[in-house]
Structure 1
Amino acid sequence: MAKLLPVKTNLSFLDGLRGLAALYVATGHARWLLWEGGEGFRQAGDAYGVTGKAFALGMSVFKFGHEMVLFFFVLSGFVIHLKYALQLAKGPDTHFSFGAYFMKRLKRIMPPYLFALLLTIVCDSLVAHYQFSIYTHTTPLALVNQNITFYHSWTSLVGNIFFLQDAYVPVFGSNGSIWSLKYEWYFYMLYPILLLTNKKFQKLTILGVAAIFGLYVAGFQTRFILFDQVVACLFSWWVGAFIADIYTGRVKVNRWLIYPLIVIVPLIPFIHTSGIPTLVKDQIVAFGFSGLLLLLLDYREKKAVQGFGRLKWLGDCSYTLYLIHAPILILANGILLRVNHNQMPRTFLFVWLAVAFVVLLAYALHFILEKPFTSTAKRVPLNHPEVMPAMVK
Structure 2
Amino acid sequence: MNINLKALEGIRGLAALYVLIHHSRTALTQSYNLGLKLYPEQYEWYDKLMVYFFSLFKFGHEAVIVFFVLSGFVIHLKQTKPSYYYPNFNWKNYFKKRLIRIYPPFLVSMILCVLCDYVLTLIDSVEFAGIFDKYTINSLINNLLLIPGTEPWGYNYPSWSLKHEWVFYILYPFVLYLNHNNFKITILIILGLYISYLLGYSIPFFGEVAYTFVVWNIGVLIAIFYNKKYFKYFPLLIITSVIYIPIYSRVDEYAIKDVLFGLVIAGIFSFILVTKNKLILNSLNKLTWLGAFSYSIYILHYPLLNLYQSLFYYINHTNKLPYHLWHVVIFTLISLPLIYFIYYFTERFAINYKKTLS
When normalised by structure 2's length, the TM-score is 0.89
1:1-393 to 2 correspondence within 5 Å? 9-38=3-32, 39-86=34-81, 89-90=82-83, 92=85, 95-127=88-120, 151-167=134-150, 170-202=151-183, 204-222=185-203, 224=204, 226-249=205-228, 253=230, 255-256=232-233, 258-264=234-240, 271-342=247-318, 343-374=320-351, 375-377=354-356, 379=358
Q: CA deviation at 1:202?
A: 4.1
Q: 2: CA distance between counterparts of 1:8 and 1:293? A: 15
Q: CA deviation at 1:351?
A: 0.8
Q: CA deviation at 1:266?
A: 8.8
The one-letter code sitting in structure 2 at the alignment partner of 1:241 is V
- Structure 1 residues 133 and 267 mapped into 2: Cα distance closer, same or farther (>3 Å)? farther
- Structure 1 residues 81 and 42 mapped into 2: Cα distance closer, same or farther (>3 Å)? same
Q: Report what 1:140 is aligned to.
A: none
Higher mean C-alpha displacement, 97-106 vs 264-273: 264-273
The one-letter code sitting in structure 1 at the alignment partner of 2:48 is K
The one-letter code sitting in structure 1 at the alignment partner of 2:19 is V
Structure 2 residues without counterparts, runs of 5 or longer: none
Native 8 Å contact 1:10 1:300 kept in 2: yes
RMSD: 2.8
Native 8 Å contact 2:76 2:223 kept in 1: yes
Higher mean C-alpha displacement, 302-311 vs 314-323: 302-311
Higher mean C-alpha displacement, 12-21 vs 364-373: 364-373
- Structure 1 residues 10 and 275 mapped into 2: Cα distance closer, same or farther (>3 Å)? closer
Secondary structure at the aligned position of 2:152 is classed as coil
Secondary structure at the aligned position of 1:42 is classed as coil
- Structure 1 residues 172 and 268 mapped into 2: Cα distance closer, same or farther (>3 Å)? farther
Aligned residue-pair number: 353
The one-letter code sitting in structure 2 at the alignment partner of 1:151 is K
Q: 2: CA distance between counterparts of 1:91 and 1:110? A: 28
Native 8 Å contact 1:15 1:312 kept in 2: yes
Q: 1: CA distance between counterparts of 2:336 and 2:65? A: 21
The one-letter code sitting in structure 1 at the alignment partner of 2:212 is C
Native 8 Å contact 2:77 2:223 kept in 1: yes
The one-letter code sitting in structure 2 at the alignment partner of 1:238 is N
**CA offsets 1:133-188 (integer angstroms, 9 cap, x no match):** 9979xxxxxxxxxxx99721121012101102524xx2111111111111001100
Native 8 Å contact 1:314 1:363 kept in 2: no
- Structure 1 residues 118 and 254 mapped into 2: Cα distance closer, same or farther (>3 Å)? closer
Q: CA deviation at 1:130?
A: 5.4
Native 8 Å contact 2:13 2:291 kept in 1: yes
Secondary structure at the aligned position of 1:297 is classed as helix
Q: 1: CA distance between counterparts of 2:127 and 2:208? A: 30
Native 8 Å contact 2:93 2:357 kept in 1: no
Q: 2: CA distance between counterparts of 1:274 and 1:363? A: 39
- Structure 1 residues 203 and 57 mapped into 2: Cα distance closer, same or farther (>3 Å)? farther
When normalised by structure 1's length, the TM-score is 0.82
Higher mean C-alpha displacement, 74-83 vs 149-158: 149-158
Q: CA deviation at 1:254?
A: 6.2
Secondary structure at the aligned position of 1:54 is classed as helix
Q: 2: CA distance between counterparts of 1:120 and 1:270? A: 39
**CA offsets 1:99-156 (integer angstroms, 9 cap, x no match):** 00111110111111001000011113334665799979xxxxxxxxxxx997211210
- Structure 1 residues 254 and 299 mapped into 2: Cα distance closer, same or farther (>3 Å)? closer
- Structure 1 residues 294 and 254 mapped into 2: Cα distance closer, same or farther (>3 Å)? closer
The one-letter code sitting in structure 1 at the alignment partner of 2:138 is T
Q: CA deviation at 1:271?
A: 4.2
Secondary structure at the aligned position of 2:158 is classed as helix
The one-letter code sitting in structure 2 at the alignment partner of 1:235 is V
